[in-house]
């Protein structure tokens, strides 16, 4: 029997973009075994020795921008500019982790107060083989982001890209090899959920997964009995809060931009908007204008491309139908545009929405922007926090102190004040969701450290602290001694 293949099609043209061989689930353990063998040398390099390889990789990505763009476009139908923005976000992360890995992972000294005769520190050693499983919406950026954190921590990686976008995933291995990263440090395997599941079950030391909450839960369930760490970047239902002192025009343009960008197929897209009553009418006037300027069309002049995953149309239309049946009004858009090959959806603005509707509670992952009028800041916060998701969100106000105060009350992993999604150009701080949006997260110091074993070492300066304290057998110290010692050391706290 000939091996199975994946042949993704360009949603714009229907053309087959290329073909890769499927990695049968039974072969995944061998790939992971190879990764372990390569880890023996890659993982034992110093961070300074690894740095030139990572730098060469980053440079090669920079010089391969057009090639990456062609490949990503060939299987997603995205606009050229959108893919170049994705490459820029990738380079931002590559640059940060390549430059900063040494600092971020340098040993961290502890304080031994009050037992000052022992010093202690924590070292960060690579975990081993990292399994990276990624979705189709940002098919080059997302797997590379996880991979670069793993690689700069000293892990080797096995990437399982989405079955809809295997060529973009394969390109990561090709570019790594061409840039001089030793063979086997980055390997890509192909297939659907069965191949992904095999990677979780194999002898991987950590799984970095980006995708839906349903699959994230399955992975967590399989990994838990093995006590295998997982980083889960899952779905989102980002809220935008527009306060009465916001720059209304910016907030309105942002609602459309981050609501319909990449046809809404963005985990950190704006999925619901809460506008304070005082400025609601002004906001609706501006947001309607903004929606009218954005086009979903099949020709070259378009802002919104086709849906990358055709079944997504069912969810978008179900959410829209449900909202309309419960009283929502369509202010702009509302229809699919079906061509010979791809399915597009118009940028769609809704009002008169509430939390009984799916469009306000479940992830749509499409270009729907529902806007809800709220009495004030307090109601906006209550509704924004009324969600099982907690990935990202934004607050719009001219008063930056107020923005920061409101942001710190939002129950999400990250929040932007007067912007949205900036974490992708801000890799030094963590991005990660809570609730249905995920576990642990990536980026920042926490992101790279997640791929390491935290090894804490203590060293007695002249004599064992435990001996000096009198904790050794045979017992010499009375209970009274321990009480007095406690008062002596901590009595000042009374």
- Does the protein bind ligand NAD through residue 64 (CB under 6 A)? no
Catalytic residue among 86, 267, 271, 346: 267
Residue 102 or 192 with smaller CB distance to ligand NAD = 192
Contact, 34 vs 128, CB < 8 A?
no
Q: Report the nearest approach of ligand NAD to the CB of residue 213 (Å).
A: 7
Regarding 372 and contact with ligand NAD (CB under 6 A), the answer is: no
CB of 309 to ligand NAD, least distance (A): 6
Q: One of 86, 163, 173, 233 is an active-site residue; which one?
A: 233
- Binding segment (CB under 6 A) for ligand NAD, from list 176-184, 213-221, 242-250, 346-354: 213-221
Q: Which two tokens stand for residue 71?
A: 């490949």
Q: Is 112 in the site for ligand NAD (CB under 6 A)?
A: no
Shortest distance (Å) from residue 311 CB to ligand NAD: 9
- Least CB distance to ligand NAD at residue 305 (A): 16
Using rule CB under 6 A, residue 169 touches ligand NAD: no
Please tell me the distance from the alpha carbon of residue 380 to that of residue 373, in angstroms, as a whole number. 9
Report, in Å, the least distance between residue 427 CB and ligand NAD. 13
CA distance 306 to 457: 54
Answer yes or no whether residue 211 interacts with ligand NAD by CB under 6 A.
Answer: yes
> Which residue number, 12 or 133, has a Cβ lying nearer to ligand NAD?
133
Nearer to ligand NAD, 264 or 403 (CB): 264
Question: How many of the chain's residues bind ligand NAD (CB under 6 A)?
Answer: 31
Q: Is 361 a catalytic residue?
A: no
Q: Does 210 bind ligand NAD (CB under 6 A)?
A: yes
Tokens standing for 55?
A: 């730098």
Asked if 148 is part of the footprint of ligand NAD (rule: CB under 6 A), the reply reads: no
The site map against ligand NAD for 175-204 (x = CB under 6 A) is -----------------xx--xx--x----
Region of 133-141, 244-252, 340-348, 476-484 interacting with ligand NAD (CB under 6 A): 133-141
Stretch that binds ligand NAD, among 22-30, 178-186, 233-241, 402-410 (CB under 6 A): 233-241
Q: Is 363 left (phi over 0), alpha (psi -120 to 50) or beta?
A: beta
> From the list 35, 69, 76, 137, which residue makes contact with ligand NAD (rule: CB under 6 A)?
137
Q: Which stretch binds ligand NAD (CB under 6 A): 130-138, 277-285, 297-305, 343-351?
A: 130-138
Q: With helix as H, strand as E and coil as C, how does the chain read?
A: CCCCEECCECCCCCCECCCEECCCHHHHHHHHHHHHHHHHHHCCCCHHHHHHHHHHHHHHHHHCHHHHHHHHHHHHCCCHHHHHHHHHHHHHHHHHHHHHHHHHCCCEECCCCCCCCEEEEEEEEECCEEEEECCCCCCCHHHHHHHHHHHHHCCEEEEECCCCCHHHHHHHHHHHHHCCCCCCCEEECCCCHHHHHHHHHCCCCEEEEECCHHHHHHHHHHHHHHCCCEEEECCCCEEEEECCCCCHHHHHHHHHHHHHHHHHCCCCCEEEEEEEHHHHHHHHHHHHHHHHHCCECCCCCCCECCCCCCCHHHHHHHHHHHHHHCCCEEEECCCEEECCCCEEECCEEEECCCCCCHHHHCCCCCCEEEEEEECCHHHHHHHHCCCCEECCEEEECCCHHHHHHHHCCCCCCCCEECCCCHHHHCCCCCECCEECCEECCECHHHHHHCCEEEEEEEEECCCCHHHHHCCCCCCCCCHHHHHHHHHHHHHHHC
Near ligand NAD by CB under 6 A: residue from 391, 395, 415, 417: 391
Query: Does residue 267 carry a catalytic annotation?
Result: yes
Q: Are 17 and 8 in contact (CB under 8 A)?
A: yes
CB-nearest residue to ligand NAD? 196
* Minimum distance, C-beta of residue 196 to ligand NAD, in the bound complex (Å): 2
CB nearer ligand NAD, residue 252 or residue 359: 359
234 binds ligand NAD (CB under 6 A): yes
Stretch 22-61: interaction string toward ligand NAD, x if CB under 6 A: ----------------------------------------
Q: What residue ranges bind ligand NAD (CB under 6 A)?
A: 133-137, 142, 160, 162-163, 192-193, 196-197, 200, 210-212, 215, 218-219, 233-236, 267, 309, 363, 365, 391, 433, 438
Just list the catalytic residues: 233, 267
């Amino acid at each position: 029997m000939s091996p199975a293949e994946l042949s993704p099609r360009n949603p714009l043209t229907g053309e087959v973009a290329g073909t890769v061989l499927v990695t049968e689930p039974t072969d995944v353990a061998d790939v992971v075994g190879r990764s372990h063998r390569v880890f023996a040398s890659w993982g034992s390099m110093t961070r300074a020795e690894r740095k030139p390889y990572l730098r060469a990789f980053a440079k090669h990505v920079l010089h391969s921008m057009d090639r990456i763009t062609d490949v990503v476009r060939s299987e997603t139908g995205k606009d050229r500019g959108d893919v170049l923005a994705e490459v820029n976000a990738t380079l931002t992360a590559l640059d940060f982790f390549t430059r900063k890995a040494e600092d971020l992972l340098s040993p961290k000294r502890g304080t031994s107060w009050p037992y000052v005769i022992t010093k202690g520190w924590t070292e960060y050693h690579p975990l081993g083989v990292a399994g990276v499983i990624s979705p189709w919406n940002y098919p080059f950026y997302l797997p590379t982001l996880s991979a670069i954190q793993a690689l700069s921590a000293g892990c080797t990686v096995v990437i399982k890209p989405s079955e809809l976008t295997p060529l973009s995933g394969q390109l990561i291995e090709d570019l790594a090899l061409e840039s001089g990263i030793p063979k086997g440090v980055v390997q890509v395997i192909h297939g659907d959920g069965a191949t992904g599941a095999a990677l979780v079950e194999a002898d991987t030391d950590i799984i970095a997964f980006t995708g839906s909450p349903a699959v994230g839960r399955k992975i967590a369930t399989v990994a838990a009995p093995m006590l295998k760490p997982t980083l889960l970047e899952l779905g989102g239902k980002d809220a935008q809060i527009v306060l009465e002192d916001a720059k209304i025009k910016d907030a309105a343009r942002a609602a459309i931009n981050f609501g319909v960008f990449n046809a809404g197929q963005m985990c950190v897209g704006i999925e619901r908007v809460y506008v304070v009553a005082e400025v609601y009418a002004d906001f609706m006037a501006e947001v309607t204008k903004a929606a009218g300027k954005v086009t979903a069309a099949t020709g070259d002049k378009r802002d919104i491309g086709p849906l990358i995953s055709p079944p997504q149309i069912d969810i978008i239309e179900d959410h829209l139908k449900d909202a309309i049946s419960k009283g929502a009004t369509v202010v702009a858009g509302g229809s699919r545009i079906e061509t010979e090959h791809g399915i597009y959806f118009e940028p769609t603005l809704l009002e008169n929405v509430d939390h009984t509707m799916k469009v306000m509670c479940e992830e749509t992952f499409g270009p729907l922007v529902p806007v809800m009028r709220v009495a004030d800041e307090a109601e906006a916060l209550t509704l924004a926090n009324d969600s099982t998701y907690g990935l990202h969100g934004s607050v719009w106000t001219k008063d930056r102190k107020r923005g920061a105060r409101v942001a710190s009350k939002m129950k999400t992993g990250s929040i932007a004040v007067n912007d949205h999604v900036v974490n992708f150009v801000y890799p030094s701080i963590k991005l990660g969701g809570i609730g249905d949006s995920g576990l642990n997260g990536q980026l920042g110091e926490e992101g790279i450290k997640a791929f390491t074993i935290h090894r804490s070492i203590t060293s007695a300066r002249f004599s064992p602290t435990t001996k000096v304290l009198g904790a050794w057998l045979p017992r010499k110290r009375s209970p009274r001694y321990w009480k007095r010692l406690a008062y002596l050391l901590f009595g000042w706290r009374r």
